[in-house]
Structure 1
Amino acid sequence: MKKKLGLVYGGKSAEHEVSLSTARAVTQAVNFDAYEVMPIYISSEGEWRTGTPITKPAETIEELRFESNGGSEPDSIAQFLQLDRKPDVILPLLHGTNGEDGTVQGLFEVMNIPYAGNGVLASSAGMDKVVMKQLFAQVGLAQVPYIHFIRSEWEKDEARLLDAAEQTLEYPVFVKPANLGSSVGISKADTREALKQAIAFALKFDRKIIIEQGVTAREVEMGVLGNDEPACSVPGEIKPVAAFYDYEAKYQDGNTELVIPAHVPDDVATHMKDMAYRAFKVLDCAGLVRADFFVTENDEVLINEVNTMPGFTPTSMFPLLWQHTGVSYPELIGKLIELALARHAEKQQIQYTMD
């Protein structure tokens, strides 16, 4: 008997379109003989809408939007999740806020529905770049210097914060929203005026921002897959034509070169695997993570961040890393579902009474 697989995608996020692309890619690889695929679309306004089960690969992302093509909206999310069509397992394909940050994961936990990927803590800590870096520091992971602040602090005393940035860091620096992915809202700044503009831009996307020291280094990434005993993929290097790997480089211009496996010494690759594993553990991750590193010309390894719901189309780095490690895209989807069911089964052993 087929399992009911819920695909949750879209979302009230700046990465709404990225999520739709991911969902389309998954429909083109999922095993329809094993799963009844239930589309669960969250509009950019945050409305949950469902459609009829998907029985074949989606040719366009427009097929997956349900505002005006016969989709239905339940009276509440809870009502939807208690229907007879309640999924046996959910594959969250949400990127960014209101989906990758632990909010939706919390809902699935409360409703006791198995779901793939990271839980509430790992998702929220991994989304907040400041919290993530503070946890990395606790386990001694090397990283670039940074400062951070919130919007109200900037509005109150921007001159002091600019001075603090220039005293702590050297140009160039990178300014990022603390709680967003896919390189949305990120700018490189080489002067004080450019820094002010970059901060104003980043604050459009989040109330908290982080300013990081720029570093001359290669950008190398590694995939992590598993629950309690995760495995690491081969490393892969990003070589963008742009000044840095921004949103356009990731999803639009098509000029970024991905070198898989990356040409790094064996001891560097081993060190990266150890750091990726430690990052996975300190955030209490599950399912999947993409760990991003800087590798300097002296082969020093600095961890940049982890992504708890990385880009997941067949041409995204995470699936490509595993493809070169021996796990195909369809197999990767199946493994994530198996990991979700295994983790959920383990949670059922937890006792909630004193009897």
Structure 2
Amino acid sequence: MKYKKIAVVMGGPSSEAEISRKTAEAVINALQSKNYEVNAIELNPQTIVDDVKKSQCDIVFNAVHGKYGEDGVLQAVMQMINMPCTGSDVLASALTMNKAASKRIFLSAGISTPKTMFFKKIDDEKFDIKQQIMDGFDLPVVVKSVDQGSSIGVFTAKTEQELAEGINEAFKYSQEIIVEEFIKGRELTVAVYGNKEKRPMSIIEIVAENGVYDYHNKYTKGCSHHIIPAPLSEKLTREIQKLSVEACEITNCTGVARVDLMLSEDDIPYVLEINTVPGMTETSLVPDVARHDGIEFADLCEMMLEMVEK
């Protein structure tokens, strides 16, 4: 046992705080079943350093989704007090949390990703954002705020009116948005684990009851189905797993990360984004695929601790 006393940090001011607490609850129960001493800490930005120190923990298990947990802030604070923390480091977390930054990295590295346009809120004073999108894309398109997770701030626009509404809504969540071409096809995800040597787990195909894998369908039991392994040819399976590992290598993700992709109708895979703090609830993808690959949930949580270097 590399670490004995664990502080599971959760919640905070993020729009994903509720899901974060569900992840933390599952992780705490799992680690306690492995005889770890576990403390739960609600993320309060003003007191987090004192709270972690008071817990006298050996390591922080980062269960914070979204703001502060996935953007590198918690990792930076823990680094300053020499406290080990699960997951990717500051830079990798910041890059992958910001969809605009990670998209630019993918494009520059030749990682297959949907065609994208980038806009800042101040651009609306200089030109007609909606018209630029209409000039550059055929509808439908996908409008995304750059720094949210769990499908929050993501809108599919099939008409000009929906596009205008999607732009306005996405800007409510962040000062920058991206607009992607709509890839019609199959929704896939690949969990990648490891530090220097990264390995993919089996590919999951996600099928939502109403065809949209949104916040509700992600976290409501029975509203989406995970097909493991995704029914793909051996060649295509290898190609998608290789692409997922390459995406994690170019962004330097460590620990366990989840790569979300679309597979077009002509079997071209496209990386959408990387999640460095993937959900660990009973309906979450990573625990599901790990179980299929022979890794029970408690062992997965322990793996995530063991991958953190002292």
TM-score range, shorter chain: over 0.9
**Cross-structure match for 1:133:** 103
**Cross-structure match for 1:339:** 307
Aligned partner of 2:120 among 150, 169, 181: 150
The CA deviation at 1:80 is: 3.5
Cα distance change of structure 1 residues 277 and 33 upon mapping to structure 2, 3 Å threshold: closer
The CA deviation at 1:308 is: 0.9
Q: Report the structure number with the largest CA radius of gyration.
A: 1
Aligned pairs (5 A) from 1:86-235: 86-154=56-124, 156-157=125-126, 159=128, 161-235=129-203
Where does structure 1 lack aligned partners over 5 or more consecutive residues?
Answer: 49-75, 346-355
**Cross-structure match for 2:225:** 257
The CA deviation at 1:28 is: 2.4
Deviations 1:150-204 (Å, cap 9, x if unpaired)? 11222x1452x11211121110011111001100121111122211101111111
**Cross-structure match for 1:30:** 31
The amino acid that maps onto 2:177 is I
The CA deviation at 1:218 is: 0.3
Looking at structure 2, the residues matched to 5 and 246 of structure 1 have their Cα atoms a distance apart, in angstroms, of 32
CA contact (8 A) 2:200 2:241 kept: yes
CA contact (8 A) 1:221 1:292 kept: yes
Q: Secondary structure at the match of 2:212?
A: coil
**Which structure is richer in relative contact order (CA contacts within 8 A, separation 6 or more)?**
2
The CA deviation at 1:336 is: 0.3
Where does structure 2 lack aligned partners over 5 or more consecutive residues?
Answer: none
The CA deviation at 1:282 is: 0.8
The CA deviation at 1:3 is: 1.5
Q: What's the TM-score once normalised by structure 2's chain length?
A: 0.95
Deviations 1:279-335 (Å, cap 9, x if unpaired)? 111111110111111112221111111111111113211111111111111100000
The CA deviation at 1:32 is: 4.7
Cα distance change of structure 1 residues 157 and 207 upon mapping to structure 2, 3 Å threshold: same
Looking at structure 1, the residues matched to 179 and 221 of structure 2 have their Cα atoms a distance apart, in angstroms, of 26
Looking at structure 2, the residues matched to 150 and 254 of structure 1 have their Cα atoms a distance apart, in angstroms, of 37
CA contact (8 A) 2:221 2:283 kept: no
Deviations 1:128-148 (Å, cap 9, x if unpaired)? 111101111222111111111
CA contact (8 A) 2:220 2:283 kept: no
**How well do the aligned residues superpose, as a CA RMSD in angstroms?**
1.7
**Cross-structure match for 1:61:** none
Deviations 1:3-62 (Å, cap 9, x if unpaired)? 1100000011110101011111112222355321111112xxx456xxxxxxxxxxxxxx
Misfit runs of 4+, over 6 Å: none
CA contact (8 A) 1:145 1:169 kept: no
The amino acid that maps onto 1:138 is S
**Cross-structure match for 2:268:** 300
Q: Identity of paired residues, percent?
A: 31
Q: What's the TM-score once normalised by structure 1's chain length?
A: 0.83
